[in-house]
Amino acid sequence: MTDSLPQPIAENLGAKLSWSAVARLIRLRSQTGTWLLLLPTLWSLVLAARGLPPPGLIVTFAAGSFLMRSAGVVLNDLADRSVDREVARTKSRPLASGELSFSHACLLAALLLGSALALVLTLNRLTLLLSPVAVLLAALYPFAKRVVHIPQAILGIAFGWGTIMAWAASRGTVEMPAWLLFGATIFWAIGYDTIYALQDREDDRRIGVKSSALFFDRWTWLAVAAALGGTLTFLTLAGRFTEIGWVYYASLCAAAGLFAAQIAELIEPVSPARAFTLFHRHVWIGSGILAGMLAGFLW
């Protein structure tokens, strides 16, 4: 009987609100994505403040990163619920499995975005004016993999926009270092999310979803090398503009060594589990760069 109903309505039938399912929908136990969104905003706050940023801004952007990443994965799962049913890694997600309804997910996304807006309202006017772009990018990304061969670039733009908002919140304007951090974040996301996409390469090929891991194919290692090289270049330029100390550049050298080790490993095929491990290590690499920034101004 439900076969004759529109899919969203059919999906609502029999689905009950489960807080456990809500927690899994927003990946509550796996906050890697939140950290990868938050770290570039913290880079921006530190460089803008030339040292320790105001605690209030740190708390606001930390909470905002959690809310926007959570909203982003809900929007992604709403757009991909049919595709997710065809992928081994994602077929058990609450929307794909029917454990949560379409309407429940829409209400949750609205709540998360509304909460993020409440945080932005505590910031200056320029940051408020920049915030609709963040929502637009979060909404566009789930559809990018249907039309763009490198959807990871759209993810990078979405994550990088946080650096622009953080700089605007700190200084009331957007200066060149902020745009350099924006560029660094785009390249970084292309690098680490291409590694992440290696987990689903065969499923993506089968169902026709686009990804950089498919687009670059056997040259994926070289594409990741170029992306991570771009990350380091833009981070170096951002440091030059802010006249940061040598410790920062030492942290970039350490990051370069870790990037090189990953790239060398990617020359040969890696298992999905190994791809996820390599992806997750970027949280620690980004944290090391953040520590180098702080030390570069404080020492």
- The model's pLDDT over 6-60, given as tens digits with 9 standing for 90+, comes to 444 444 444 567 889 999 999 999 999 999 999 999 999 999 999 999 999 999 9
State residue 49's pLDDT score: 96
Instruction: Enter the pTM of the model.
Output: 0.91
pLDDT above 80 for 271? yes
pLDDT band for position 208 (cuts 50, 70, 90): confident
Range of the domain at 129: 2-298
| pLDDT greater than 90 at residue 206 | no
Whether the predicted pLDDT of 2 surpasses 80: no
Number of compact structural domains in the chain: 1
Domain of residue 269, CATH code: 1.10.357.140
- Average pLDDT across the chain, whole number: 91
- Least confident span in 2-6, 60-64, 118-122: 2-6
| The pair of three-digit structure tokens given for residue 240, joined into one six-digit string | 């030059």
Average pLDDT of the segment spanning 190-205: 91
**What's residue 12's pLDDT?**
47
Q: What is the pLDDT of residue 5?
A: 39
Segment 123-150, tens digit of pLDDT: 999 999 999 999 999 999 888 888 899 9
How does pLDDT run across 222-256, given as a tens digit for each residue?
Answer: 999 999 999 999 999 999 999 999 999 999 999 99
pLDDT at 98 over 80: yes
